[in-house]
């Protein structure tokens, strides 16, 4: 059970101090909410940048591995090409082979025949160039296929990043809505609690005022019904009591007027706060829509 503070005994200075302290607590809570929203935005930006950096590092590592593999394959193919050239020169040049006894016999036997036509050096160069061109064509075709695969993979990464961006944006929107709702609930609960407290205090003041009025009327009636032959001392006491009651009635009336004025001020402040919150919500929605459009253009380019 919440104990009602003795607001009827507070002075104007105490009321103003309590009001300012409550307002300061409200401002502190709003600052904390804004700081939490800023922290959420910073964490979202860091998460997005870390994801992009990790993707870029993975892509660079894959490309470097492919480049090293291609270099190794080129070295192997160069060695194979040298070996094939050497074999071609060995098997097409008779002077390059050692002369054996069987070869001498064949040469003596066919000494009267015409020598076979040798493969010219230009034809060897043409064949080597043809082989080199075929190898280059195969390499270019493989590079084109790899580039196509890389483009498809990058397109898939772009789609994934867009999906992640949309997911993070929706999470940010949900957090903004939750923060706004929490702020509205805290503001409404505080204002409603103050209004209820002031209403209860005003009712108590009204009841006390009625009691004082009844007591005053009763004393006035008693003073009128007193015999004229009563002592002057009793009349003076009655008049003192009446004056005291009148002063208390005036004080209670002033307290009631101050409480009503404060209640009206709190209601007007609540209306202004609701109006400001609605304006801020519309501005936040407009700014978030613009940010979303800018992000979409940034992703497209």
Whether 93 is in a domain gets the answer yes
Could you give the number of structural domains in the chain?
A: 1
The C-alpha atoms of residue 236 and residue 93 are separated, in whole angstroms, by: 153
Can you give the pLDDT at residue 289?
66
Percent of the chain beyond pLDDT 90?
0
- Rounded mean pLDDT of 270-284? 75
3-state secondary structure (DSSP) of residue 233: helix
Mean pLDDT of the chain: 71
Cα of 268 vs its chain's centroid, Å: 34
The C-alpha atoms of residue 239 and residue 108 are separated, in whole angstroms, by: 168
Can you give the pLDDT at residue 113?
44
Whether 95 is in a domain gets the answer yes
Whether 229 is in a domain gets the answer no
Whether 68 is in a domain gets the answer yes
Whether 80 is in a domain gets the answer yes
> Which of 81-90, 182-191, 216-225, 258-267 shows the highest mean pLDDT?
258-267
Whether 132 is in a domain gets the answer no
Task: List, for residues 21-76, the tens digit of each pLDDT value.
Answer: 888 888 888 888 888 888 888 887 888 887 788 777 777 777 777 778 887 888 88
The C-alpha atoms of residue 55 and residue 24 are separated, in whole angstroms, by: 47
Can you give the pLDDT at residue 96?
43
Whether 201 is in a domain gets the answer no
Contact yes or no for 42/174 (Cβ under 8 A): no
Can you give the pLDDT at residue 271?
79
Whether 167 is in a domain gets the answer no
Structural domain containing residue 79: 63-108
Task: List, for residues 168-212, the tens digit of each pLDDT value.
Answer: 777 777 777 777 777 666 666 666 666 777 777 777 777 776 777
| DSSP state at residue 34 | H
> What is each CA distance from 116 to 94, 96, 113, 146, 157, in whole angstroms?
11, 16, 9, 48, 64
Report field, pTM of the whole predicted structure over 0.75: no
């Amino acid at each position: 059970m919440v104990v009602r503070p003795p607001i009827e005994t507070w002075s104007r200075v105490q009321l103003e101090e309590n009001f300012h302290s409550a307002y300061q607590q409200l401002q502190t809570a709003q600052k904390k909410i804004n700081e939490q929203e800023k922290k959420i935005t910073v964490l979202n930006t860091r998460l997005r940048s870390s994801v992009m950096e990790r993707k870029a590092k993975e892509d660079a590592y894959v490309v470097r591995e492919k480049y090293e593999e291609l270099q190794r394959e080129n070295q192997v193919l160069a060695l194979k090409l040298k070996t094939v050239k050497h074999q071609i020169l060995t098997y097409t040049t008779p002077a390059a082979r050692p002369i054996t006894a069987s070869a001498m016999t064949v040469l003596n036997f066919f000494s009267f025949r015409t020598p076979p036509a040798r493969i010219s050096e230009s034809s060897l160069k043409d064949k080597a160039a043809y082989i080199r061109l075929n190898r280059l064509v195969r390499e270019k075709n493989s590079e084109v296929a790899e580039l196509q695969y890389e483009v498809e993979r990058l397109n898939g990464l772009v789609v994934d990043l867009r999906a992640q961006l949309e997911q993070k944006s929706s999470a940010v929107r949900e957090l903004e809505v939750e923060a706004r709702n929490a702020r509205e609930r805290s503001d409404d609960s505080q204002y409603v609690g103050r209004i209820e407290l002031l209403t209860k205090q005003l009712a108590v003041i009204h009841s006390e005022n009625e009691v004082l009025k009844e007591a005053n009327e009763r004393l006035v009636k008693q003073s009128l019904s007193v015999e004229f032959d009563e002592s002057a001392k009793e009349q003076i006491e009655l008049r003192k009591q009446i004056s005291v009651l009148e002063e208390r009635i005036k004080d209670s009336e002033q307290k009631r007027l101050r409480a009503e004025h404060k209640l009206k001020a709190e209601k007007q402040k609540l209306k202004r706060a609701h109006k400001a919150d609605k304006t801020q919500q519309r501005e936040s929605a407009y700014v978030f829509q613009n940010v979303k459009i800018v992000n979409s253009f940034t992703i497209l380019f």
